[in-house]
């Protein structure tokens, strides 16, 4: 378990952290972002989950005032991205998809560079840099040149840099892209330290990342939000059929017929019975098997995955 390291943030009145209104971006005739309407609450970790080219980076670029929308707008803590970009830049931090670290400088020096850009006083900068390195688990690598850090450490340093000026809102664009599973898990641990204290908009094409980290997920495909909700809601909304798997001895034809009369689909293979239906009554199934003298060795309801939901919503597999 990791401990939470926080600094206090200024909390103005109660407005959404991020609100978009028909946010749209065209590159020539290509519609990269197609009228996104979204509201993200303060302290929420929201994940944009979608394949390459879905419009995730373009959306983050518009929200962080690096790219002007073709039409529509958005507010960040009430400030309009089209009218108040300077206000917004003070309260957001961005860890871009391609990290922008200076390879020949060490971690402290990289943090100092962004600190100067934000005009942080030198003594505050030193203390905050130390705190951010600690938050991201890099204290013992403070003096190492970035080129000597692993991919996962570089991503964590990039997140530390996004946090240096204590922003209220952070954008993490594909924070674990290309990392091996172990390094990915470490980055997840450090991101989860920030949950609640910061509003986080994270993009990913890793299903598991969105599932584990996000309070809510927006499935984005071809510039549009195809579905929105918690991981559980997305799974529950999209999965119509439930599946139960039973490992049993002494399965008789009689009890199989009895269950076939009650449930839509039953498959038997090597002592394993798989039942599928819109509604499965776990207790009813076990009771009938016991009454028929079947020995149930184990039984479980197969949970739908976010992958099932994604496939159902977009009609596509999400390549990872």
Contact (Cβ atoms closer than 8 angstroms) between residue 81 and residue 70: no
CB under 6 A: which stretch of 10-18, 46-54, 225-233, 290-298 binds ligand ADP? 46-54
Q: What is the DSSP letter of 303?
A: P
Q: Which does 154 bind (CB under 5 to 8 A by kind): Mg ion, ligand ADP, none?
A: none
Count of residues near ligand ADP by CB under 6 A:
11
Residue 230's contacts (CB-CB under 8 Å, 6 or more residues apart) are 215, 216, 217
Question: Which of residues 165 and 173 has its CB atom nearest to ligand ADP in the complex?
Answer: 173
Helix axes 151-163, 181-194, angle to 10 degrees: 20
Considering the rule CB under 6 A, would residue 167 count as an interface residue with ligand ADP? no
Question: Which of residues 58 and 166 has its CB atom nearest to ligand ADP in the complex?
Answer: 58
As measured in angstroms, the least distance from the Cβ of 63 to ligand ADP is: 12
Q: Compute the C-alpha angle 127/129/131, nearest 5°.
A: 70
Considering the rule CB under 6 A, would residue 207 count as an interface residue with ligand ADP? no
As measured in angstroms, the least distance from the Cβ of 56 to Mg ion is: 5
Considering the rule CB under 5 A, would residue 61 count as an interface residue with Mg ion? no
Distance, CA of 18 to CA of 33 (rounded, Å) = 16
Contacting Mg ion within 90-109 (CB under 5 A): 97
Q: What is the DSSP letter of 145?
A: B
Distance, CA of 24 to CA of 302 (rounded, Å) = 39
As measured in angstroms, the least distance from the Cβ of 60 to Mg ion is: 8
Q: Return the residue of 6, 37, 52, 82 that touches ligand ADP, per CB under 6 A.
A: 52
Q: Which does 93 bind (CB under 5 to 8 A by kind): ligand ADP, Mg ion, none?
A: none
Q: How far is CA 297 from CA 147, 200, 215, 244, 249, in A?
A: 54, 44, 36, 14, 7
Burial of 185 (0-12, 13-18, 19+ CB in 10 A): middle
Question: Which of residues 57 and 110 has its CB atom nearest to Mg ion in the complex?
Answer: 57
Q: Which does 96 bind (CB under 5 to 8 A by kind): ligand ADP, Mg ion, none?
A: none
Contacting ligand ADP within 56-85 (CB under 6 A): 56-58
Considering the rule CB under 6 A, would residue 27 count as an interface residue with ligand ADP? yes
Contact (Cβ atoms closer than 8 angstroms) between residue 216 and residue 291: no
Residues in contact with Mg ion, shown as a per-residue x/- string from 202 to 241 under the rule CB under 5 A:
----------------------------------------
Pairing of strands 272-277, 242-249: antiparallel
Q: Return the residue of 54, 92, 94, 183 that touches ligand ADP, per CB under 6 A.
A: 54
Distance, CA of 30 to CA of 27 (rounded, Å) = 5
Contact (Cβ atoms closer than 8 angstroms) between residue 301 and residue 275: no
Considering the rule CB under 6 A, would residue 53 count as an interface residue with ligand ADP? yes
Question: Which of residues 54 and 255 has its CB atom nearest to ligand ADP in the complex?
Answer: 54
Look up residue 262 and give its two tokens. 């009650």
Q: Return the residue of 19, 20, 24, 57 that touches Mg ion, per CB under 5 A.
A: 57
Q: How far is CA 294 from CA 45, 247, 275, in A?
A: 47, 10, 16
Q: Which residues contribute to the site for ligand ADP (CB under 6 A)?
A: 27, 30, 32, 50, 52-58
Q: Which residues contribute to the site for Mg ion (CB under 5 A)?
A: 56-57, 97
């Amino acid at each position: 378990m990791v401990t939470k390291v926080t600094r206090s943030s200024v909390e103005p009145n109660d407005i959404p952290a991020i609100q978009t209104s028909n946010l749209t971006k065209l590159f020539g005739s290509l519609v990269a972002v197609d009228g996104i309407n979204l509201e993200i609450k303060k302290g929420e970790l929201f994940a944009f989950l979608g394949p390459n080219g879905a419009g995730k980076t373009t959306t983050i670029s518009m929200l962080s005032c690096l790219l002007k929308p073709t039409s529509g707008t958005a507010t960040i803590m009430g400030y309009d991205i089209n009218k108040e970009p300077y206000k917004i830049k003070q309260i957001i931090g961005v860890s871009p998809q391609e990290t922008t670290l200076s390879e020949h400088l060490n971690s402290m020096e990289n943090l100092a560079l962004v600190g100067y850009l934000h005009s942080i006083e030198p003594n505050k900068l030193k203390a905050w840099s130390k705190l951010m390195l600690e938050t991201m688990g890099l204290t013992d690598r403070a003096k190492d040149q970035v080129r000597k850090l692993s991919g996962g450490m570089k991503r964590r340093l990039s997140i530390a840099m996004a946090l240096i000026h204590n922003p209220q809102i952070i954008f993490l664009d594909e924070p674990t892209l290309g990392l091996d599973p172990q390094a990915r898990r470490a980055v997840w641990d450090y991101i989860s330290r920030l949950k609640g204290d910061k509003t986080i908009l994270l993009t990913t094409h890793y299903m598991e990342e969105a599932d584990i980290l996000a309070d809510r997920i927006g499935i984005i495909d071809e510039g549009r939000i195809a579905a929105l909700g918690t991981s559980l809601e997305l799974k529950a909304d999209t999965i119509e059929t439930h599946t139960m798997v039973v490992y049993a001895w002494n399965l008789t034809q009689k009890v199989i017929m009895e269950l076939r009369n009650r449930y839509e689909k039953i498959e038997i293979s090597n002592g394993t019975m798989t039942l599928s239906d819109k509604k499965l009554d776990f207790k009813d199934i076990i009771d009938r098997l016991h009454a028929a003298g079947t020995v149930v060795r184990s039984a479980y309801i197969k949970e739908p995955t976010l992958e099932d939901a994604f496939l159902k919503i977009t009609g596509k597999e999400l390549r990872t």
